[in-house]
Structure 1
Amino acid sequence: MAAERKISSTSLREVFDGSLVGITVHRGFDILYANDRIAHLLKYDDCASFISAGDLGTHIPKRRQRQIAERWRKIQNGDEQPERNRVSNYTTDGDEIWLDVSDERIIWEDGEPAVLSTIYDATLAVRANESLLSSLRHLEISLDSILEFIPLGIAIFSDVGVPKTVNSTMRLLFQASPRQNDYVPKVMQELVTSIVNSDEQELAVKGVKTRVDRVVDLIARRMADDAIMLCAADVSEWQDTQDKLKTLAERDVLTQLLNRRGFSDTVKPVLRQSVEKDETFAVLVADIDFFKDINDTYGHATGDETLIAFSKRISSALRSQDIVGRVGGEEFAIFLPKISATRAEAIAQRLRKKIEKTPINVYGTSINLTASFGLKIWEGGTEPRLRDLLQEADTALYRAKDTGRNRVSIA
């Protein structure tokens, strides 16, 4: 099986150059990579001066350094899942700032695991929330007037969950216009009901997609008079960052198909569901015959274009529910859910014939291709491991190669 795909400083620069999201790659407190955004947030001149300083620990409150270092160690080792937290940090001149930080494990360009942290400045949101609470406690001023100056979405519900006040920011996050109306999204209703019916002081729902295409984190807090305050923070840019990182980690740069990791992560839940429903499925592995000769004869640029054309050809011939990925140099894997053994073999033969009969035109050159296929069919029993299914399909593929190529072999 192939190793996890490496993420390089070059790929991060291409995606996040000029981004409002800070990026760091580190092992413990040792900085391996950073962009200008996080450097500027911590009041360095640029990322080079931040990296040369070399120690993330100087910006983290001492009381939390051991806890954070241990969490990073677990994430780096794969013992803890990625998570997002709001934490305080200190700038080079001692000012406290608040950051929303998401930490996840990656394989860095040196081939070793590291932690990638994406950072969003939450200082304004925290200060605004503190200001709101302070105003509510100490100032004799209209609640509606206070709420309209808050850059967070705010809604106040009674102690039994009836909406009392909603600011325009909250309405804009969930509807096309800030005008007042009685619309209360279901996710808000459910969150307020949950805290009303519990003894909790605070409950949260993260990553809520609104009908105006924003992504928000919702936090419900019980106030002193048992009213419920609902805060919504717009994390759309944050989610966009996570989507870009997911694409970097799970997509093949050349063909834009899933890479081995992406293929595995996408197939596993579908496989599990198929087993639970006792639905037959198949794993198909394809390999371009004599691909090395194409590279040697026409050059690697032509080889790359051949791979792109090949990937488009097999993708266009599959069903919408089928999952395809490039899992090696010229090797592709296809997961065929909800399919009979006869139908799976027919699809494999159809792909083989389509590739054989239609030359690929690259840079004005017509190249005749064939491909060999290995097919593994699951027709019931205990849940198999995907890597074992791929291995059996791969063994069948090499049997097809050994017996003449341009054929389908069934495991």
Structure 2
Amino acid sequence: MSSIKNILETLKINQEIARKFFEIESSILSILDFKGLFEELLSKIKEKFGVPYVWFSVIDKSEISDLIQTLTSSEILKERLNLVERNAFLSLIADNTKPILANEDLKPFYKLLPQKQKYLIRSRAVAPLTLDGEIIGSLNYADHSELRYRPNMEVELLEQLAVKVSLCLSNVMAHEQLKVLAYKDPLTGLLNRRVMDDALRREFKRAERHATGLSLIFIDLDDLKTVNDRYGHNIGDHLLKYIATHLKDMSRESDIIARVGGDEFVIILPGTSSKKAHNFMKRLQKFLKKNPLNVREISIPASLSFGIATVEDNTTKDAESLLKKADAMLYQAKKLKWARRSKNFAIEQKQEDAGQV
């Protein structure tokens, strides 16, 4: 009789566990953003099962890791997401798509732990996650007790949840990519023109309200057409991405950078004087002069023309006027540059005609 009672009790426990897994799965199916998906999973698993440590590992420098870092500002996820080098991750997981449980020899798996967290674990479960059939990371569980996750335990429910999470990731990925396309330039990853216009209007009003100053730099990449004609558009794209990368690297977190045309960029610098904006461009041009783009054994110098407008003198009436002013200054800079080039060409031509070259 006691044997039947034990079986029924075990069945009841298993049904309760299955119900909790089902509730977690149901709660994530309609979520279409990374922040919501990850935060819901982390909180629900901890709430339903009392697991002390739950976190995600994602293969670094992958499409999904780049997108997560671009879109996610979750404080919880910053603590519970670990980016792992691809080879290091796959050396642990191999081609295994089933959860891996262990309560001894845990040291190799320490590389999956979030770097800022110090977990005292005696057992762990690693459930691989896939995207379009490819392993992209894992959902990880750990406990102080060595009895929580044992190699001989049944993993069907953990595996089932990992499959559901993987399906959700596929949906979220598609949705988030559409969001990115709505506000980012697909080639450079910078903001697009529409988002820049909105940001400029917002920052202009803020600068007027708080009298904090605001500068705008309108930048043109010189000779992009020549690069495209000589080396092909693929090399031209490399050059545009090279410029975008260093605009981001040399700017502040508060600066707003956009690609607004084929070879045109805009930087909005809140709280920045005209002098500081000019100093920024001097540093950028100095760097580019010393560091040409090297691709396919081709060295391509990058030259920029720019115009700067500022609201620190309160003479600009609105955001559109500020942009037009910077555009006009850019036009003047390009005229001067072309005039110098034409003059130098004429001098060189005379010297050549006179046999002096």
TM-score range, shorter chain: 0.3 to 0.5
Tell me: higher relative CO, structure 1 or 2? Use CA pairs within 8 A at least 6 residues apart: 2
Q: State the TM-score, normalizing by the size of structure 2.
A: 0.48
Q: State the TM-score, normalizing by the size of structure 1.
A: 0.42
> Which structure is higher in strand share?
1
> Which structure is higher in helix share?
2
Larger Rg: 2
